[in-house]
Amino acid sequence: MGQKIIIDPVTRVEGHGKVTILLDDQHRVEDAFFHIVEFRGFERFVQGRPYWEAPVLVQRLCGICPVSHHLAAAKAIDQIAGLDPKDLTPTATKLRRLLHYGQILQSHALHFFYLASPDLLFGLDAEASKRNVVEVAIANKELARKGIQMRQFGQEIIKALAGKRIHGIMALPGGAHKTLKSEERDAFLLGKGVPSINTIISWLGEVLEFIKGYHETNASWLDYFANYPSGHLGMVNANGAMELYDGPLRAIDAQGKETLHIPATDYVNHFAEEVKPWSYLKFPYLKALGRENGWNRVGPLARMNVSKFITTPLADTERKLFQEYTDGKPNNMTMHTHWARLIEMLHCAEVIRDLLLDDAILGDDLRREGIQRQAGIGVIEAPRGTLIHHYEVDDKGMITRCNLIVSTTHNNEPMNRAVKWVAENVLDNRFEITEQMLNQVEIAIRAYDPCLSCATHALGKMPLYVELQDRRGNIIQTRTRS
C-alpha cells in the first residue's frame, strides 16, 4: 500500500512549513513536497495606504529580517518619490549600506552559531533532543558566546542607525532619517559595549578556519548531502563583484553559463511566478528558461557562485579557496551554504569597518526630493537571498498594487529539490521511518535558513506531527514530536 509521510512543522525554522513524502507500494519514494499552508495577505494589507508608509509597514512582515524589508521597500519608495539610487546623497547611501551589512552580519550569526551548528556539531544522526540551541551552548560555550557577541554587534549597528533593534525607522523616501554620531562610530571602532569591528573580523577568521577544518574531516557528508544541480541568482556590481545593496541581477545555470544579467528593476520582464494548489508559496522562475529549468537558488551559496570576486581582501581570499574546491565551477553542494555564509559574514564585517572609517557617515546631507512617479521597484540581497519589493500608486500616492518576492520564495523549488534528494537517498526503500531520517529532511531545508512567516506571510502555531497516509488518503500511522 502506498504511504504519505508528513513532517510538520520543520523545526528551528521561522514560521511553519510541512513536508510530505509519498511512498509507493514498494516503499520507494514516489514524490516529495515542501509545502506552505498558511497565508497572511500582507500584499493586500498595504493596498490603499500612502506609499511613504510602506517601509514602516513592511517591517511587520516578520521580526527576523525587518531591516531587509525596510530597505527594499525604501528603495522602491525612493523611485516613487522620483529618485533612483544614484540620486541619493553619499551620506544617505552609506548609512543605508551600514544598516544593511549590520543586518546581514547579525542574521548570519544567528543562523550559523545557533540554528545550523547543531547539525554541524552533532552530525546527521544525532537524536532530536540534542539538536537545540542549549545543547550547542553546553557543548561549546566559547563558540556560543562569540555567536551572541557577533549578533549583538550587528544589532547595535541597527539600533544606532534605526533607533531600536527591531522595527526601527532609518530610511525615508529619498534618504535617511538620521546620521551617525562620532561617539557611536567610536564605540564600534574601539569596542565600547560591544567587541570592536577588528575583533569581529579576527573572530570570523577563526570561525572560517574552524569550518574549513571541519570540512576536511567531514567532506564525505558535507559534499554529498543534498547535492543537486540548480541555477543560481544574485546581485553583482558593475564589475561582477558580490553586491548586497544595489546592482544588476545575474544568474547562471548549474554549469556556470550566464542565464540572466539585467538591471534589477527589470525583474518583471524576466521573472514569472507559478502557483501550485498544495502551497501558498509561489514558485518564481526565469521566463526565458521556463518553469522546469528556470528556477534558481538564492542566498549565500548562490551569491558566491554568481560573483566573479569580492571587493574586500580577506573575504576574497576565502572566496578563492571556496571556488578552488570546485575548480571554479558552480558549487551545488547544499551544505556548503554554511561555509559561504561565513565568508559573507567576513565580507560584511570588512565593509562595516570601511564604512565606519569613512567620515561621510557622519554627514548631515541626508535627503533629496524628486517628482512623484507611479511605480517603484526595490531589490536588495537580504541575508537569505534576493528580495524584491514592487509598488504601484495612484495620483494621490496611495498604493494600488504590491508584489513581494522574498528570498524564501525564490528558494521554494530548491528546497523542494533538497527534500526530494533526501527522500530518494535516505528514506527510499525503508519501511521504518526513523527520527534521524526525518531530521535529515529538516537539515536540508535549514541550510536555506527559510523564514517562512515572511515567505508565506504567516504567523501561528501548529502541532508537530508525522502522518502516514496511503494513496487514498487513509491514515496508516501518526507520530507526534515535542
- Residues of this chain that interact with other proteins (CB under 8 A) are 11-14, 40-42, 45, 57, 60, 62-64, 66, 110, 113-115, 129, 132-134, 137-138, 141, 144-145, 147-149, 151-152, 155, 164-167, 459, 464, 482
Shortest reach from residue 449's CB to other proteins, in Å: 10
Shortest reach from residue 99's CB to other proteins, in Å: 17
**Contact, 234 vs 298, CB < 8 A?**
yes
User: Of all residues in the chain, what percent are helix, strand and coil, respectively (each to 5)?
Assistant: 45, 20, 35
Looking at beta carbons only, is 48 or 290 nearer to other proteins? 48
Single out the residue of 422, 297, 411 nearest to residue 31, CA to CA: 422
Question: From CA 212, how far away is CA 115, in angstroms rounded?
Answer: 19
In our burial notation (b when 16+ CB lie closer than 10 A, e otherwise), range 98-117 reads: bbbbbbbbbbbbbbbbbbbb
Question: From CA 170, how far away is CA 361, in angstroms rounded?
Answer: 13
Shortest reach from residue 102's CB to other proteins, in Å: 13
Looking at beta carbons only, is 157 or 304 nearer to other proteins? 157
Shortest reach from residue 45's CB to other proteins, in Å: 6
Shortest reach from residue 105's CB to other proteins, in Å: 13
Looking at beta carbons only, is 146 or 417 nearer to other proteins? 146
Looking at beta carbons only, is 113 or 448 nearer to other proteins? 113
Cell reading at 8: 510538520
Beta partners for residue 120, in sequence order: none
The angle formed by the CA atoms of residues 99, 105 and 108, to the nearest 5 degrees, is 135
Q: Which string of DSSP letters, residue by residue, matches 345-374?
A: HHHHHHHHHHHHT-GGGG----B------S
Looking at beta carbons only, is 215 or 389 nearer to other proteins? 389
In our burial notation (b when 16+ CB lie closer than 10 A, e otherwise), range 145-178 reads: ebbebbbbbbbbbbbbbbeebeebbbbbbbbbbb
Looking at beta carbons only, is 296 or 440 nearer to other proteins? 440
Shortest reach from residue 408's CB to other proteins, in Å: 13
Question: From CA 431, how far away is CA 422, in angstroms rounded?
Answer: 15
Q: Which string of DSSP letters, residue by residue, matches 157-216?
A: HHHHHHSSSSS---EETTEES----HHHHHHHHHTSSS--HHHHHHHHHHHHHHHHHHHH
Looking at beta carbons only, is 113 or 295 nearer to other proteins? 113
Shortest reach from residue 42's CB to other proteins, in Å: 7
Looking at beta carbons only, is 141 or 329 nearer to other proteins? 141
Shortest reach from residue 383's CB to other proteins, in Å: 13
Shortest reach from residue 296's CB to other proteins, in Å: 25
Shortest reach from residue 384's CB to other proteins, in Å: 13
The angle formed by the CA atoms of residues 454, 459 and 464, to the nearest 5 degrees, is 110
Instruction: Give φ, ψ of 94 to 5 degrees.
Output: -70, -35
Looking at beta carbons only, is 131 or 417 nearer to other proteins? 131
Looking at beta carbons only, is 141 or 257 nearer to other proteins? 141
Instruction: Give φ, ψ of 386 to 5 degrees.
Output: -65, 130
